[in-house]
Structure 1
Amino acid sequence: MTRLSGITPSGHAHIGNHLGAIRRWARQGRPGDLYFVSDLHAMTVSYNPARLRKLSRELLAVLVAAGIEPDQVFVQSDLVREVGALTWVLECACSFGEAARMTQFKQKSEGQGMVRLGLLTYPVLMAADILLQGAAEVPVGDDQAQHVELARSLARRFNTTYGEVFTVPEAVTPPTAARVRDLSDPGRKMSKSTQDSAGVVFVLDEPDLIRRKVRRAVTDSLGRVEYRPQEQPGLANLVEILSACVGKPPREVVAGFSSYGELKEAVADAVIEELRPLRERASALLADRAELDRIRKAGAERATERGAHRLSSALRLAGVG
């Protein structure tokens, strides 16, 4: 049973991505699971082509450096011909109403001067990613569950109308992970695409920079070192990061501290050590261009081979293959 997960290179990977997804993929992934860098998804809003290419390579290196098996990773755009062809077939099976009612499209298009068509059709591209690889399970949060439901609808519609080709995927809820907030504004989630990186700890940040960011993290003036997420969100965010790094419950890890400064030093130490092996391995991969290119090429070949029969069958049954 194939489980498929993707991550978009909309910015540098941060500690929240690592603790919430990448580390779990490396530790709990099963043989047959697939992980991909969804660089085509990053094109639905304004972007810089050179930066996108660089971020895609960097994120691929991070996935492999985290411990995910190289034969389980690939970059989406390396299958652009295959996924593009299947996207068109699925778009022709999808109604405008189905695409337009996607919640993320409504949210992201609001207030934009120019709304790219790709933002509207992106869920169909996501469906093509899923169906091409024959994924049976797609771990997603609440914000993506609607997109998996569209993939299910399109798979059933194609199978019923033209012939059985696609596995009908299931959305699965991943294990609860730390919801890391921005260190400078705990009212918002840490984000790869934020314009202000002062409160974002990136996985490739140097130790000294990590420590400075943690030391400057927003807390409060109460002076009480307790785990109270509602009353002290900034402090709770630091506690939750420490908890995720050391593998102990938040109320347990907070008990040994008497000051915010002491807690921040412990958080900085834990994050630095958590990220050290990942940063070192990723940096080595990025420095060895030939090896990273080899991993990427092999991943593309395997992903293409996995989807070849489904694509050719879909095209033939749709009358164009």
Structure 2
Amino acid sequence: MRVVSGIQPTGDLHLGNLLGAILRWVRMQDEAECLFFLADLHALTVDIEPALLRANVREMAAALIASGIDPDKSIVFAHSAVPAHAELCWILNCTARMGWLNRMTQWKDKAGKNREGSSVGLFDYPVLQAADVLIYQATHVPVGEDQKQHIELARDIALKFNNDFDIELFIPPEPFIGGGTAARVMSLRDGTAKMSKSDPSEQSRIHLTDSDDVIAQKIRKAKTDPDPLPDDPTLLEGRPEAKNLVGILAAMTGETPETVLQRFAGQGFGAFKPVLADATIALVGPLRDRLIELRRDETALDAILAAGAEKAAALAAPTLAEAYRAVGLRG
């Protein structure tokens, strides 16, 4: 089993990234061969300062390693350091169909009413995502609900290419369901919106770089409601902020929401929030300290990424060469 996944280098990671993806990646390392990349090519689909992009790649690499991604177990690298991704993307662009991409809901959401003014890269990035996976003959890709359509597109592209050129080159990837459950972490200010760096309110999220005092303060001020906690998770429907905080504690302690509620049934958030704050500090504190330590040695981070890119390029080369031969660009 080979698993491939990427994350855009957008600066500070927050608790939603950690519980929603990265800790799942950490667990995957013991279940499969894993490649994790910093998706700096995908980051070009929006405006970003070049110097900031480079700094963000290092920052994200440090955060992943601090969180438990082990370069001795997994291949960690920057997307742009392996040109095979972009080369295969062009070949797959000639296999993918406009109608397929026009149906991608994330394209519609991100472009909004400004489709004519959006970049070709924003429209086309699902094909690059497909290349990211297919270049390594990945069998599985960890995805959330909002990315399942992209896996289906990668499968369609793989099957069409194989059929068009009468070759069994690409493996149609499957969604990866290992690594435990990925938590869906919502804003601390609005339980109906995902925790996001783009939210203008700093109180909406917990950064991995936040101090213990700041974490406690953000949880203390997290939006709740006046009702006591029930003993049944189904009774949290219609209470998005309460459901979110219970889900966060469950994800951090490895409990189910049912178990958490059994501990706090009938109690208010005055009793619940200090426990949540302590659990968050216990999880984030050591990661933050390790991240600060890793940040200080940019040379070491660059060396880790360079070594990962070399390994990834070696894995990608045979597939790219075969794709070139299949379409007639090489003998």
Instruction: Determine if contact 1:149/1:171 at 8 Å carries over to the other structure.
Output: no
Instruction: Determine if contact 2:183/2:248 at 8 Å carries over to the other structure.
Output: yes
Distance 1:229 1:52 in 2: 40
Equivalent residue for 2:171? Answer: 167
SS at match of 1:44: coil
Are 1:204 and 2:206 an aligned pair?
A: no
Q: Pairwise mapping of residues 78-227 of structure 1 onto structure 2 (< 5 A)?
A: 78-79=81-82, 81-112=83-114, 114-162=117-165, 163-173=167-177, 175-222=180-227, 224-226=228-230
Deviations along 1:108-135, one digit per CA (max 9) or x if unpaired, are: 1113372111111111100110011110
Equivalent residue for 2:13? Answer: 13
User: Aligned AA for 1:183?
Assistant: L
User: Aligned AA for 1:297?
Assistant: A
User: Aligned AA for 1:154?
Assistant: I
Are 1:267 and 2:267 an aligned pair?
A: no
User: Aligned AA for 1:105?
Assistant: W
CA RMSD for the aligned pairs?
A: 2.0
Are 1:233 and 2:240 an aligned pair?
A: yes
Distance 2:140 2:80 in 1: 22
Q: Which runs of 5+ in 2 are unaligned?
A: none
Instruction: Determine if contact 2:6/2:39 at 8 Å carries over to the other structure.
Output: yes
User: Aligned AA for 2:307?
Assistant: A
> Structure 1's 161 and 218: CA in aligned 2 closer, same or farther, altered over 3 A?
same
Distance 1:66 1:142 in 2: 23
Deviations along 1:40-59, one digit per CA (max 9) or x if unpaired, are: 22222333333332222211
Equivalent residue for 2:325? Answer: 316
Distance 1:232 1:161 in 2: 51
Residue 218 of structure 1 deviates from its aligned partner by: 0.4
User: Aligned AA for 1:73?
Assistant: V
SS at match of 1:240: helix
Q: Percent identity?
A: 43
Out of 206-215 and 29-38, give the one that drifted further.
29-38
User: Aligned AA for 1:192?
Assistant: K
Instruction: Determine if contact 1:10/1:193 at 8 Å carries over to the other structure.
Output: no
Distance 1:11 1:294 in 2: 20
Residue 276 of structure 1 deviates from its aligned partner by: 1.8
TM-score when normalising by structure 2: 0.89
> Structure 1's 32 and 172: CA in aligned 2 closer, same or farther, altered over 3 A?
closer
Out of 272-281 and 253-262, give the one that drifted further.
253-262
> Structure 1's 97 and 43: CA in aligned 2 closer, same or farther, altered over 3 A?
same
User: Aligned AA for 1:217?
Assistant: A
TM-score when normalising by structure 1: 0.92
Residue 256 of structure 1 deviates from its aligned partner by: 4.4
Distance 2:196 2:246 in 1: 19
Distance 2:174 2:239 in 1: 37
Q: Which runs of 5+ in 1 are unaligned?
A: none
Equivalent residue for 2:310? Answer: 301
Instruction: Determine if contact 1:22/1:63 at 8 Å carries over to the other structure.
Output: yes
Distance 1:137 1:28 in 2: 11
Q: How many residues align?
A: 319
Instruction: Determine if contact 2:11/2:60 at 8 Å carries over to the other structure.
Output: no
> Structure 1's 143 and 31: CA in aligned 2 closer, same or farther, altered over 3 A?
closer
Are 1:3 and 2:13 an aligned pair?
A: no
User: Aligned AA for 2:144?
Assistant: G
Distance 2:188 2:2 in 1: 36
Instruction: Determine if contact 1:39/1:75 at 8 Å carries over to the other structure.
Output: yes
User: Aligned AA for 2:35?
Assistant: L
User: Aligned AA for 1:230?
Assistant: E
Distance 2:157 2:239 in 1: 45
Residue 173 of structure 1 deviates from its aligned partner by: 4.1
> Structure 1's 31 and 232: CA in aligned 2 closer, same or farther, altered over 3 A?
closer
SS at match of 2:36: strand
> Structure 1's 259 and 153: CA in aligned 2 closer, same or farther, altered over 3 A?
closer
Q: Pairwise mapping of residues 47-58 of structure 1 onto structure 2 (< 5 A)?
A: 47-58=48-59
SS at match of 1:57: helix
